[in-house]
Amino acid sequence: MTAAPSPHIDRIVELTTDQLRARLAEALQVYVDAMGYPPSTAQQRAPMWSAHMMRAGWRCVAAFNDADELVGIGYGYLGVPGQWWHEQVFRGLLTVTPRAEAEQWMHDYFELTELHVRPDSQGGGLGETILRRLLDGAPGNTVLLSTPEGPTRAWKLYRRVGFGDVLRHYQFTGDPRPFAVLGRGLPLS
């Protein structure tokens, strides 16, 4: 018996906060599946994702297959002092760069907070399409993101679209894994 063919990508759209709230459980399942996290992670992350939707400059792009299943998601917002990620990265940068350089990176940037593609839809360029659509017209002079260290599809994608090292082998509070903070100017070429 042969497996049924995977549904094809039908549409890639920008979502409003209300549209993402209506499909938040599905979006979090994509996140959990893509990251290989335990299912309970979705419940833990739901309040955080909901809070992120209220931040200045928030925007979200999602991909759906022809069965109307969400298969990819990306979102971000303007990073500002006082936000957890901003404070963590700024503190890390101060350990390896002069204050003026750290302040330059942490000023007027779009934080690419989440970018995930369901495992059965990876490898065909969908992540890059979501990324480019999300960053097209994103506020800020630069874009920053963090990703676990290691040779992954995400790393290859970020390098391919011009992200460079900002901070390497950084450990965020509460996570034992080393992360890289990557950045580049906006707009994407």
Q: How many CA atoms lie within 13 A of 21 on its CB side?
A: 9
Q: Given the residues 75, 77, 109, 158, select the one marked as catalytic.
A: 158
Burial class (CB in 10 A: 0-12, 13-18, 19+), 46: middle
Alpha carbon distance 129, 142 (integer Å): 19
Q: Is 109 a catalytic residue?
A: no
Contact 121, 71 (CB under 8 A): yes
Q: Which residues contact 169 (CB under 8 A, 6 or more apart)?
A: 149, 178, 179, 180
Burial class (CB in 10 A: 0-12, 13-18, 19+), 24: middle
State the catalytic residues.
158
